[in-house]
């Protein structure tokens, strides 16, 4: 019972926070700044979103273009990063091979890679996917590696005492123990991936939310600019929510993942 009241309380606070933020924004734009080339009210943004979604429909091509680029780069990062992270954790040789590259690429600002990737892959989808891939890869790779490295030694001894085969040790102990870390890496990579989409589309794209925001900024189309930013935010929130559900489904044994 108390738990339900706590949850209700927490939800009310969240909604209150959003409402207060929007109100503040509205007051700032319409009553203090009063300069629509600088900041427009959330009411204007909502109206512009409505028009772009349901009247002109001009948001969809951008939304789809960005979503696909994000999805391809993100999925590629998962299918490469997770196994590579595992291999690094299980083989010191692989770790020593990959580590210097990982450290270098991870610590270099991704935006610096964008022009060279565009040069290599051209301004088609390939370069954009590559930029998103690079953005998503490292949190997934590092977390998969780390998750498997820090598996409780007791569990490994347990496997030994039950004479589990190496394969069973991997499948029954190492892999499930790493799942929360992998999911945390995937969650981190959503934000980085969307940033990468924006970066990729700023360089010589003709569609996509990044392009929309960039172009709107250049032409001082403030409402459209905010619609583009809001669309990114919605994608991010959607991605987080999906991962949260996957976490709750895949790791029901973790108390933390059961809350909100």
Cβ-contact 121, 133 below 8 angstroms: no
The CB-of-75 to other proteins minimum distance in angstroms stands at 25
| Distance of alpha carbon 225 from alpha carbon 45, whole angstroms | 9
Give Cβ neighbours of residue 221 (< 8 Å, ≥ 6 apart).
215
Q: Does 179 sit near other proteins (CB under 8 A)?
A: yes
148 vs 212 by CB, closer to other proteins: 148
Interacting positions 142-171 with other proteins (CB under 8 A) = 152, 154-155, 157-158, 160-165, 168
47 vs 254 by CB, closer to other proteins: 254
Cβ-contact 161, 104 below 8 angstroms: no
| Distance of alpha carbon 200 from alpha carbon 133, whole angstroms | 11
53 vs 156 by CB, closer to other proteins: 156
Total residues at interface with other proteins (CB under 8 A): 22
17 vs 166 by CB, closer to other proteins: 166
Q: Does 173 sit near other proteins (CB under 8 A)?
A: yes
Query: Please, is 76 exposed, middle or buried when counting C-beta atoms within 10 Å of its C-beta (0-12, 13-18, 19+)?
Result: middle
Q: Using CA of residue 55, residue 58, residue 62, residue 64, what is the dihedral sign?
A: positive
**Alpha helices for the chain (secondary structure H):** 2-27, 42-50, 59-90, 92-107, 113-121, 125-149, 153-161, 166-168, 175-202, 209-218, 222-250
- For residue 146, give the nearest of 188, 177, 110, 106 by alpha carbon: 177
Identify the three-state secondary structure at position 212: helix
Q: Does 255 sit near other proteins (CB under 8 A)?
A: yes
Q: Does 76 sit near other proteins (CB under 8 A)?
A: no
Q: Does 176 sit near other proteins (CB under 8 A)?
A: yes
Q: Does 4 sit near other proteins (CB under 8 A)?
A: no
The CB-of-160 to other proteins minimum distance in angstroms stands at 6
The tokens describing 163, both together, are: 């004479």
Only one of the segments 39-47, 48-56, 138-146, 172-180 lies at the binding site for other proteins (rule: CB under 8 A); that segment is 172-180
160 vs 245 by CB, closer to other proteins: 160
By CB under 8 A, name the one of 177, 188, 230, 243 that touches other proteins.
Answer: 177
Q: Does 253 sit near other proteins (CB under 8 A)?
A: yes
Cα distances from 17 to residues 47, 132, 255, in angstroms, run: 22, 32, 26
Q: Does 254 sit near other proteins (CB under 8 A)?
A: yes
146 vs 155 by CB, closer to other proteins: 155
Contacts with other proteins by CB under 8 A lie at 152, 154-155, 157-158, 160-165, 168, 172-173, 176-177, 179, 251-255
């Amino acid at each position: 019972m108390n738990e339900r009241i706590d949850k209700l309380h927490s939800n009310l606070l969240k909604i209150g926070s959003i409402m207060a933020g929007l109100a503040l924004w509205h007051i700032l734009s319409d009553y203090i700044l009063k300069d629509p080339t600088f900041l427009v009210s959330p009411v204007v943004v909502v109206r512009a979103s409505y028009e772009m979604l349901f009247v002109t429909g001009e948001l969809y091509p951008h939304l789809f273009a960005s979503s696909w680029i994000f999805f391809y780069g993100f999925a590629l990062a998962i299918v490469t990063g997770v196994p590579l992270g595992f291999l690094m954790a299980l083989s010191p040789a692989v770790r020593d091979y990959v580590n210097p590259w990982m450290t270098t690429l991870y610590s270099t600002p991704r935006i610096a890679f964008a022009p060279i990737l565009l040069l290599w892959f051209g301004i088609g989808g390939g370069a954009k996917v590559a930029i998103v891939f690079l953005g998503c890869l490292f949190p997934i790779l590092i977390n998969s590696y780390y998750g498997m490295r820090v598996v409780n030694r007791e569990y490994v001894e347990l496997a030994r005492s039950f004479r589990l085969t190496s394969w069973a040790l991997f499948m029954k102990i190492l892999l499930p123990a790493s799942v929360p870390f992998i999911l945390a890496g995937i969650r981190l990579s959503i934000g980085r991936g969307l940033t990468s989409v924006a970066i990729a589309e700023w360089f010589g794209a003709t569609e996509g939310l990044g392009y929309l925001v960039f172009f709107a900024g250049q032409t001082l189309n403030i409402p459209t600019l905010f619609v583009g930013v809001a669309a990114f935010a919605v994608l991010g929130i959607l991605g987080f929510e999906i991962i949260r559900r996957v976490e709750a489904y895949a790791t029901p044994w973790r108390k933390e993942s059961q809350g909100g």
